[in-house]
Structures are given as structure tokens and as C-alpha cells.
Amino acid sequence: MSADDAPPRDLDLDLAPELLSLLRSYAALVPPRDLAFPHETPFAAVHDFLLAHILANPHFARYPSSARYQAAFWKWALAHLEAILADTAGTHDGPAHDLEISAALYDRHIALLSTPS
């Protein structure tokens, strides 16, 4: 294994089982309709996982799935994240009230939609 193929040192492989399952499913190109969104995991944990382990994953950057698959995945993930925020709107005070979805996730989805097939 070359240094380029080694997993990054900052990649946390000690993920919650539902997040590890989602990562494996994404890597295996499981259709989003068949994925299980980790609803029992806190919003911030799922959100940060999507950013760090899928969007910014060096392996997925080097060996990307089709733009069509990625667009479908991000549509699915964003819909679930937005639903969580809508369900919690007005029910939390303090830090939880300030939760929002990173523009990086929306930017990636929009870029994929703008990509010619």
C-alpha cells in the first residue's frame, strides 16, 4: 500500500454503528431509497459525519461515484437533515436552536445538479 492509498490519520474509524453502516452503504453505491438514515443519532453528529466522512473523504474525491448517484444521495441526505431541523424548530433553546446545515452540503448538491449528464 502506498502512502497515497493509506487512510488519512485524522479519519475517525471509531464511528457509531449506524454511521459506519451509512458510510459503507454510500461506498457500495446502495440506492438512497434503500439507505437507513441514522435518526437516533444527534443532528450535529450526523451532519458532521456527512461533512467529514463523505463530502471531504479523500477516497471519494479520488474515486467518485457517478454524478447521478451523488446527486441522489445528497438530495436524500439533505431532505432528512432538513426534516430534523423542521421537527425541532421552536422546541430548543440555546445551542441546539442554532443548528443549521452547512452550505458546503448544498453547494455540492447544486454543483452536481449543474453537471451535464
Q: Where are the domains of the chain?
A: 17-114
Mean pLDDT calculated for residue range 18-46: 96
Q: Would you state the pLDDT for residue 92?
A: 53
Its pTM stands at: 0.82
CB 18 within 8 A of CB 8: no
**Is residue 13 predicted with pLDDT exceeding 70?**
no
Question: What confidence tier does 94 reach under pLDDT thresholds 50, 70, 90?
Answer: very low
CA distance 77 to 50: 8
* pLDDT bucket at 1, cuts 50 / 70 / 90: very low
